[in-house]
Structures are given as structure tokens and as C-alpha cells.
Amino acid sequence: MIRFASAQLDGWMAAEKRKPLVIRGARQVGKTWLVRDMAIRHNLKLIELNFERNPALADLFTSNRPKEILKNLESEFETSIDPDSSLLFLDEIQAAPAMFARLRWFKEDLENLAVIAAGSLLEFALNKYQYSMPVGRISYFFLEPFSFFEFLLATENEFLLKKLKAFSHNDVMPESIHEKCLGLYHDYCLVGGMPEPLQKWVDTGNLKNCIKIQQDLLATFRDDFHKYGGQFDPGLLFKLFISVSRQMGNKFVYKRVDPLAKTLLIKKSLSMLSQARVFTKINHTSGNGLPMGAESNEKFFKMLLIDIGLVSVQLGLSSMSNTQAGKIIFTNKGGIAEQFIGQQIRSSQSPLTDPILFYWQRTGGRQGEIDYIIQHGNRVIPVEVKSGTAGSLKSLHQFMADKNLDLAVRLNSNLPSVEKINVKTTTGKPVSYTLVSIPLYLAQKINDLLDLFY
């Protein structure tokens, strides 16, 4: 299966001033596969070390001279290593954190050798050993699960993907293609973007075969927790995973995880799983301008799970009939659409930057919430998400009036459209703005479509 991130890796490989690359991402999102695939495509000799499987290999790097390290590697693996045609891959590097400091020597003394490091629990090692990180001498690369567009490519919908990627608001979307896309959106909500269950779906087309893999992935994430630096009640972890799925689309409330559990313990568990990139935090923003993290209220936040397919398993959607699951997926309840959109917004950002999500919620007085707030150029753009074809826009009208904005996005199950909104808010304030309605399945193209309005 093809990953769009491969093109970014190719750019790193072709750069004249190339730094060692550290790939960050949750367990099982395909980091190792991505590196192996690049080695094959570029006809590079892959020298792969897994420090979790064999921590003793770290002894090969005790020297600060990269050429001496290469001699050690040649002796260990009984093979010659030409820096110009080889790729050194340090997998599960978090098991040998002292390796981070040694990456600098490859940048300074052996720049022609391609060096990539990766790890599943990398965030904890980075936090713990921040003082020894070779600042300015390494590059970071952030890998997400398969996006919906990658899902289309994997499921042999290449021509459909080509049409969607070329679509603009000047084009007409045929109803039949629209319905086909919604059907594939339904499939993606159940299968998700984790590589292993997606591969099983491609191979068999049987959702039941995917469910067991998804359940095993969830168990792996929970079982990994002892590596995160503490002992935690397995029962609480299970409840936390379920609660994140159930609270999607709403402000996260600790007490809804377990009313009898200590809030501090829930907060610590949530924070650690977020660091491990199993959970994604949607940060509150005031929406008053850039940067969006300014004037944020830390008491207000929402949570997503790493992948929508795992959410569907948690909520039992995968075990329902297509009709039953479809009723939930295409209604404005349960936060499924918000999970989907959150994943696509993260995937649409460059893997060279750490993706961050924002939403807006009134913190006092009247109720009001905007599902996502994104930055487009130097503008703040509110994004409303509706699973179905209908839904109230009262909060959006008020937000646009209060912030004096003129462009907003609505993502739903309707055909694409652009309309001029001229209404009064619930407080009687007149507001006028352009509303760009985009089908859910085009979420990855939000920024491209917004370019047309400048």
C-alpha cells in the first residue's frame, strides 16, 4: 500500500544538507514499513537495528566517530557499508535513549549516510532526555494512520481519488459519485486507517476479519502502559479508552471515566496516552486571532482516539449491521464525524510539523461551540461538522458575528455548495458571511478549496 508520506521522505533523501531523521508516531501506524519501503524504492542497502529486540546493539555506537561506528556495524553484520548507497535505520530507539545524543555526529561527520530513527514510545524518551537532544542537528517526521484519501488508493479507487484531488467548487459533483464516496466514507469509519486491519480489509473485504485485529491493537496499547513510567489499574485504562470514544464531540469530563477514581490518576493516564499518541487532544482556543493557542482555557478540551476504526470497535459499530451502523455514522450523534474530520485535518498537515487541533467553546454565559478552528494563511476559519445533511448553525452564526469573520466551513453529507449567509443571531445581531459546504469525504482538501476564496 502507498503512503503519501513517502513523497516527503523522498524529499528528505534528496536534500543536499540532510540531517538524521527521527520518525514519531503511535505504535503500529507503519513507521518501520515506511523506512523499509523507501530503502527498496531508492535501491539502498538497509542496515536495520531494533534496540527493543536487541538492546546490546547500542554498544556498537559508543564511539563519537561515525566511521568507527560503521566499522563496528560491518563487523556485527558481516557486510560492507557504503555511506552513499546505504540507509542506517535505528528502530525502537527509545529502548536505547543515549543514541539520541550520538545522532549529531552523523550530521557533522558523515552527512552522506542516510540515518533514520523511529520508536513507538518515543515521546517519553524525548521528554526524559531532552537535555541531551542534538538540537539543530536532527529533523522530526510525524506519521499518522492512513487518511481517507490513502484508504481510497489502498482499496483500488485510484481514479476516484484522482477526481477528488482535482475537484474545485467550480466543478459539479455527480450524485452517483457522491453516493459512492459516502459509501466509502462509511467503510473507512469502520475499518479505519491502521495499516494491519486496513490490509486485512483489502485482502478479504470482510469486516469481521478486521475486528479481531483492531481489538488486539487496543489491547496492545493498554498492555504497553507499564512502559510509560508507572503502574496503573488495567480496569481504569479500559474505562478510559471507552470513555474517550463515548465523549467524542463533547468537552472531556474526567468524572465520566469513573466517578470513583481519583481525578489526578485519570489526568495522568490521559496525559501519558496522549504523549504516546494513542489519544489526541483538541485544544481550546479563544478564536480571537493567531496564534490559536493564545488565550486558551486549559480546563476546556476534547479528546480523540488515534483511529476511527478503533473507535467503531469500542462503540460496537463494527458488530452491527450496515444499516444499523449507517444510522449512527450518518447522524449528528456520537462524534464519529468529528473523529473522522480530526484525523483528516491532522493528515493534511505536513509530516514535518507536529499536527495540533483546536476547537472553540464559550467558557461562560450562553452555550456555544465550534467543532474545529483551523488556520488558513493568516486567517482563522471555523469548521462545523455535521454527520448528516441537516443541522443547526446557531453557534456558528454567533461566532462569526462576535469575531467579525467573513468565511466559514461546514462539513456534512450534502453535495458541495457555497452560499452567502445573511441572518440574525439568537441575540438579534445581524451577521453576513460566506459558508463553504464541503462533503465529509473531501475534508483533506479544506485548505485547497479555501484557496479559491482569496
| C-alpha torsion angle, residues 103, 105, 110, 113 (rounded to 10) | -10
Span 196-240, pLDDT tens digits: 999 999 999 999 999 999 999 999 888 877 665 556 677 888 899
Span 272-316, pLDDT tens digits: 888 889 999 999 999 999 999 888 899 999 999 999 999 999 999
- At residue 434, the pLDDT reads 96
- At residue 389, the pLDDT reads 60
Span 54-109, pLDDT tens digits: 999 999 999 889 999 999 999 999 999 999 999 999 999 988 888 888 888 899 89
Under a CB-based contact definition with an 8 Å cutoff, are residues 48 and 60 in contact? no
- At residue 17, the pLDDT reads 84
Under a CB-based contact definition with an 8 Å cutoff, are residues 305 and 278 in contact? yes
Span 396-436, pLDDT tens digits: 999 999 999 999 999 999 999 999 999 999 889 999 999 99
Helix-helix angle 207-223:234-246, to 10 degrees = 130
pTM of the model: 0.93
> Can you list the domains of the chain with their CATH numbers?
5-142 (3.40.50.300), 149-453 (no CATH)
DSSP state of 379: E
Model confidence at 371, pLDDT cuts 50, 70, 90, reads very high
135 contacts: CB under 8 Å, gap ≥ 6: none
Average pLDDT, the chain: 91
Cell of 51: 534496540
Rounded Cα distance between 338 and 57, Å, is 44
Under a CB-based contact definition with an 8 Å cutoff, are residues 298 and 372 in contact? no
Residue reference for cell 555506537: 61
